[in-house]
Every structure is written in structure tokens, then in C-alpha cells.
């Protein structure tokens, strides 16, 4: 990823942060004092005020009440950009994701972003070379957490994930992080619109050897694909190319463990940690 393609704070985040700061100063309250009242760390409050972090879901309402902001902070939160911290080359795909009625993901490098816990995200971003500055890391974590809300908010969207077994066994971030990750995945599979399948470590026939695949269907029944590499990503719009990737994904669905067997394997792996 080139420098000009790195994630950057959005104008709406900076404006929201300024609004919080103004009401905090109006209340003659320090950042640590506000942090204690809303239940978040001073670092989190500072990052929000500087426009570097998307506020947690309950932050606007809590801050509005504590600072007696007349509903201003809550109203401002409704206009926040939903893709701060996203790389420029990913934003076109992110816009399509917002209205998609189906999202399919095959991943062989890291656990898909939509399934990651915050601890796993931080382990992932902390392993980047060259290292990410703190502000950029926080922006990316906030963006990913915000993006994950679609899993629970969009109950009519079908989500399918095929994830390599090796990604769980790699223990990124350590055993504690992996235990939390598996617990989170086992919770998500209980939602009726989410299907997760593990691709076994030993699999003689594998249709995904060419790399990760993301597919989505729009409300107009159009299909798009997205393929990501080391330094960027490509949005695939040509119907014939998308069809090839759809066929590969469909084949992998039959090669991976069933959702039921996936739960059994993850439960076993969880017990081994």
C-alpha cells in the first residue's frame, strides 16, 4: 500500500471530536474525568476528540447525558462517516457492502476482518511491516469494529465464511487471544444469517489455491468480487470473471467442513488451548 493509499481520519470524525471537546470544556471537565463518567479510558476519549477513533456505540448517548449536551452529541454521531480508517482502494467495496444482500468470504491469510475480535485486530495490525503509527492503528481498529456491526444489524443479509483451519492454529496474538476469537466465532455461528465453514488443514482437493475471495450480491441481483494482495486490492466487475470466482467459492463450500462439523472442530481446538 502506498502512502497516499493509507487510511486517514474522516472530516466527520474530526468534527464529532471537536463537538465532544467543546461540550467537555463547557462543563469544565478534564478528559480523565469524562472518561471515568462514560466508562472508557482517557486514551479512548482523547482519540475520539482528536478524530482518530470511531466512538463506541454507547459513547454518544453517555457523553451527551454526562455533558448535558441537549442531544447534540447523539445527533452528530448519526452523521459520522462509516468508513474511517479504510484504505482508499477498499472504500469502493465498502460502499457496495453497505447494501449487499449476500456477502461471501474465503480467507487463507488472516481471520476475516468481520470475524476478528479487537484483541486479534490489534495483534494483526501490530505485526504490520513497517509498523503502523499509533493513530493509524487506532483508526483501523475503530473502522473494523464499526464495520462488524453489519453482522448483527443486517439480519436479512446472508453471510458466508470459509476460513482455513491453519489460521486458528497459528495462534496469532497468543493462546488467550485465540481462545477469545474462537469463543466469538462460536457465538456468531448461532445467528441464522451467518454460516462459517473451516477448510481442513489436510485437503487434497482445494479450489481456492489462487488466494482470498470476497463476493457480494446487490439488491439488484448484481454480483461483484474483490481480491486483495500484499499492497492493494482489485474490485472485479466483469460478469465472466465474477462467475469464475463464484464457481470456485461454490466448490470450496463442498470441500470445507460442514457448519456443524466446523463447530465441533473449533470446540475441540478451544479445549486444547
Which pLDDT tens digit goes with each residue over 212-250? 999 999 999 999 999 987 777 788 989 999 999 999 999
Stronger pLDDT, 77 or 35, i.e. the higher one: 35
Residue 188: the pLDDT is: 97
Residue 84: is its pLDDT beyond 80?
Answer: no
Mean pLDDT of 100-109: 96
Q: How far is CA 159 from CA 122, 155, 163, 186, 249, in A?
A: 24, 10, 13, 15, 13
Q: Is the pLDDT of residue 89 over 50?
A: yes
Q: What is the pLDDT of residue 14?
A: 83
pLDDT interval class at 198 (50, 70, 90):
very high
Q: What's the CA gap between 137 and 131, in Å, rounded?
A: 9
C-beta of residue 236 within 8 angstroms of C-beta of residue 242: yes
Q: What is the mean pLDDT of residues 34-48?
A: 92
Q: Name the grid cell of 19.
A: 463537538
Under DSSP, is residue 81 helix (H, G, I), strand (E, B) or coil? coil
**Residue pair 195/256 in contact by the 8 Å Cβ criterion:** no
Answer whether residue 36 shows pLDDT above 70: yes
Alpha carbon distance 159, 38 (integer Å): 33
User: Using 50, 70 and 90 to split pLDDT, how confident is the model at 98?
Assistant: confident
pLDDT of res. 4: 32
The pLDDT value recorded for residue 85 is: 53
Number of CB atoms found within 10 A of residue 172's CB: 19
CA distance 45 to 34: 8
Q: What is the pLDDT of residues 155-186, one digit of tens each?
A: 999 999 999 999 999 999 999 999 999 999 99
Question: Which comes out higher in pLDDT, residue 67 or 53?
Answer: 67
CB 82 within 8 A of CB 154: no
Q: Is the separation of the CB atoms in 213 and 108 below 8 Å?
A: no
C-alpha 14 chain-centroid distance: 21
Res 100: pLDDT: 92
| pTM of structure | 0.69
Measure Cα distances from 115 to 2, 5, 37, 68, 180 in Å: 26, 24, 30, 36, 11
Structure confidence at residue 15 as a pLDDT band (50, 70, 90)? confident
Whether the pLDDT of residue 87 is over 90: the answer is no
Confidence (pLDDT) at 256 = 98
Share of the chain above pLDDT 70, in %: 92
Amino acid at each position: 500500500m502506498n502512502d497516499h493509499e493509507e487510511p486517514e481520519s474522516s472530516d466527520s470524525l474530526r468534527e464529532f471530536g471537536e463537538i465532544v471537546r467543546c461540550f467537555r470544556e463547557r462543563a469544565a471537565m478534564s478528559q480523565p474525568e469524562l472518561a471515568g463518567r462514560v466508562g472508557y479510558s482517557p486514551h479512548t476519549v482523547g482519540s475520539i476528540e482528536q478524530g482518530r477513533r470511531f466512538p463506541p456505540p454507547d459513547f454518544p448517548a453517555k457523553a451527551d447525558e454526562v455533558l448535558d449536551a441537549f442531544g447534540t452529541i447523539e445527533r452528530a454521531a448519526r452523521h459520522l462517516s462509516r468508513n474511517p480508517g479504510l484504505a482508499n482502494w477498499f472504500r469502493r467495496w465498502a460502499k457496495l457492502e453497505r447494501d449487499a444482500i449476500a456477502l461471501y468470504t474465503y480467507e487463507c491469510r488472516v481471520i476475516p476482518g468481520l470475524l476478528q475480535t479487537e484483541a486479534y485486530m490489534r495483534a494483526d495490525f501490530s505485526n504490520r511491516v513497517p509498523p503502523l503509527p499509533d493513530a493509524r492503528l487506532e483508526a483501523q481498529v475503530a473502522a473494523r469494529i464499526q464495520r462488524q456491526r453489519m453482522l448483527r444489524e443486517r439480519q436479512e443479509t446472508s453471510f458466508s465464511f470459509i476460513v482455513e483451519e491453519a489460521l486458528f492454529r497459528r495462534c496469532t496474538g497468543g493462546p488467550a487471544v485465540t481462545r477469545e476469537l474462537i469463543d466469538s466465532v462460536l457465538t456468531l455461528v448461532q445467528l441464522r444469517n451467518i454460516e462459517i465453514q473451516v477448510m481442513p488443514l489436510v485437503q487434497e482437493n482445494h479450489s481456492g489455491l489462487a488466494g482470498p475471495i470476497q463476493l457480494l450480491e446487490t439488491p439488484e441481483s448484481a454480483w461483484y468480487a474483490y481480491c486483495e494482495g500484499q499492497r492493494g486490492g482489485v474490485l472485479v466487475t466483469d460478469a465472466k470473471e465474477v462467475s469464475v470466482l463464484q464457481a470456485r467459492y461454490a466448490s470450496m463450500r463442498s470441500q470445507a467442513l460442514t457448519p456443524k462439523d466446523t463447530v465441533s472442530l473449533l470446540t475441540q481446538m478451544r479445549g486444547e488451548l
